[in-house]
Amino acid sequence: MIFERNPQSTWLFCFAHPDDELTIAAWMKQLCDLGATVHSCWTHSNPIREEEARQTAKLLGQPQDNLTFLHGLDGDVCTQIEALLPDFQNLMARINPSHIAVCAFEQGHLDHDATNFLVLSAATAPVYEFPLYHCYHHWYQTLGQFSSGTGVEELKLSQEESLLKKRLAKEYPSQNIWKILFWYEAWHRLRFRSSGLLEFESLRPTQHTTWFKPNHAEPLASQVLQSSKWQRWVQAMEKLEADFPGITGMNNCGPTASVQAGSVLSK
């Protein structure tokens, strides 16, 4: 059971950008209310977005000391993995989480995939992923749902929690997240009666076994393969592997070289 209400647990939520936490915010609030220890880390931040994230954390009940902001370049994290990996290793050592949650490897945004790589490369505890959006081969992306239901657990939200997520979206005036959520929800309610965005949150164990294949079934996988962003991702992985042989290797529990990636990078 992933959504286990254990007040003794220590959760680390790893996001690529401030506002990504909206997708799993209700579960974070439940954990904070329960008395569990909840940490958050953002791979990219800037002063404006950091302040917005801090205000959001206050509404969730997170202590400010439990927030970590790194300074990966927005849209370019996949080329900064070598520089950022020690930060993630230090984060794991400092927090010693019992559970780790990270944005899914789902080809919606290169920074999301790179953050997933960084987390799995430094993880010291079970890693679960949450969906943001996929896929970048098309202008219209699917929000808040995995393309495959394998291993997914869903947390049904109360009306109060749905309203909380709407309120949190407005805490990011520097971004257009509120407009995106509003119109996406309106469009899906018109066509399908519901989008699910405000009705449930999802987590699943990380399940991909390679960084060189899109994490989708057909026909999505083939469509992603044709995109320029996927080509950029593969180039970044190939360069990383050439510079640090073994670092992109994976087994079912994550990268084989990753758990000891510090020794790989130090060679």
Rounded distance between C-alpha atoms, residue 103 and residue 242, angstroms? 26
The CATH number covering residue 223 comes to 3.40.50.10320
Alpha-carbon span 189 to 105, nearest angstrom: 27
pTM of the model: 0.92
Burial of 65 (0-12, 13-18, 19+ CB in 10 A): exposed
Predicted local distance difference test score (pLDDT) of residue 251? 52
In a domain, residue 3? The reply is no
**pLDDT, tens digit, 9 for 90 and up, residues 65-115:** 999 999 999 999 999 999 999 999 999 999 999 999 999 999 999 999 999
Q: Quick one: pLDDT band at residue 242, thresholds 50, 70, 90?
A: very high
Which residues have CB under 8 Å from 61's CB, separation 6+?
29, 32, 33
Q: Give me the helices (H) in 138-244, please.
A: 159-169, 177-192, 220-225, 228-243
Q: Which domain holds residue 89?
A: 10-265
Q: What is the pLDDT of residue 33?
A: 98
Query: 4 lies in a domain?
Result: no
Answer whether residue 49 is part of any domain. Answer: yes
Q: How many domains does the chain have?
A: 1
Task: Average the pLDDT over 40-55 and give the result.
Answer: 96
C-alpha 73/C-alpha 75 separation (Å) is 6
